[in-house]
Amino acid sequence: NAGVTQTPKFRILKIGQSMTLQCTQDMNHNYMYWYRQDPGMGLKLIYYSVGAGITDKGEVPNGYNVSRSTTEDFPLRLELAAPSQTSVYFCASRRGGTTDTQYFGPGTRLTVL
């Protein structure tokens, strides 16, 4: 049981390039989340999904897109990368009861130059 896995661990992009951050969970969780973490700013929600085919925006969705075609996978797409997207990105999942715990992946550190 690997939990939540993310790839790549590190990536450097040039301004205007695009990329997809991968997230996979093997716990059969319904809910999945994408956060970004900037120094001293805490975790900010980008997008979340309550199940395959259903996604919704979080606090900071601009410049990002997501899809959820399977229960396991929740990729985050960056189009036209900008320096403001330099951050550490975390994917998380939870089963989906009334209140339950989120489990986080190890993160992807992205630098846009």
Applying CB under 8 A, which of residues 7, 18, 69, 101 lies at the interface with another protein?
Answer: 101
Minimum CB separation from another protein for residue 16, in Å? 28
Q: Which residues ranging from 59 to 88 are in contact with another protein (CB under 8 A)?
A: none
Q: Does 103 bind another protein (CB under 8 A)?
A: yes
Residue 3 burial (C-beta neighbours within 10 Å; 0-12, 13-18, 19+): middle
Q: Does 1 bind another protein (CB under 8 A)?
A: no
One-letter amino acid at 86 equals T
Q: Does 17 bind another protein (CB under 8 A)?
A: no
Q: In sequence order, what are the residues at sequence separation of 6 or more whose Cβ sits closer than 8 angstroms to the Cβ of residue 27?
A: 1, 3, 4, 93, 95, 103
CA distance 36 to 16: 19
Q: In sequence order, what are the residues at sequence separation of 6 or more whose Cβ sits closer than 8 angstroms to the Cβ of residue 52?
A: 68, 69, 70, 71
Q: Does 90 bind another protein (CB under 8 A)?
A: yes
Applying CB under 8 A, which of residues 1, 14, 28, 42 lies at the interface with another protein?
Answer: 42
Vertex 17, ends 15 and 21: CA angle to 5°?
A: 115
Q: Which is nearer to another protein, 35 or 64 (CB)?
A: 35
For another protein, the binding residues (CB under 8 A) are 4, 31, 33, 35, 40-45, 48, 50, 56, 58, 90, 92, 98-107
